Amino acid sequence: MHYVETQYGFEYGAAKVSRMFSDKKKGWVTLGVETPKHSGHDGLQVYVSKTGKVRIFDKRGEWNPPNARSQALREKGVDHAETR
């Protein structure tokens, strides 16, 4: 498996992980993750708060985990858009 440390992170397999932003006073950090399918402006940003909360963003916005209702509908084969 390919592994190389870079100036601001590392490359591991197809993933390139790098530090992006941080706020020492508030304690949060942002990491960038790039892959062959998510690179440049399509790359992912992983925000980690001081308390450990994780939020993931791409060019379309935040990735939200499915809520219980959406997950139940998906398991039944119902498109969430049909229920609106």
Determine contact, residues 50/28, Cβ cutoff 8 Å.
yes
- Position 79 scores a pLDDT of 62
Tens-place pLDDT, residues 27-69: 999 999 999 988 888 889 999 999 999 999 988 888 877 666 6
Angle at 39 between CA 4 and CA 19, to 5 degrees: 55
Mean pLDDT of 2-30: 96
> Could you say which DSSP state residue 71 is in?
H
Q: How many residues does the chain have?
A: 84
- Position 50 scores a pLDDT of 96
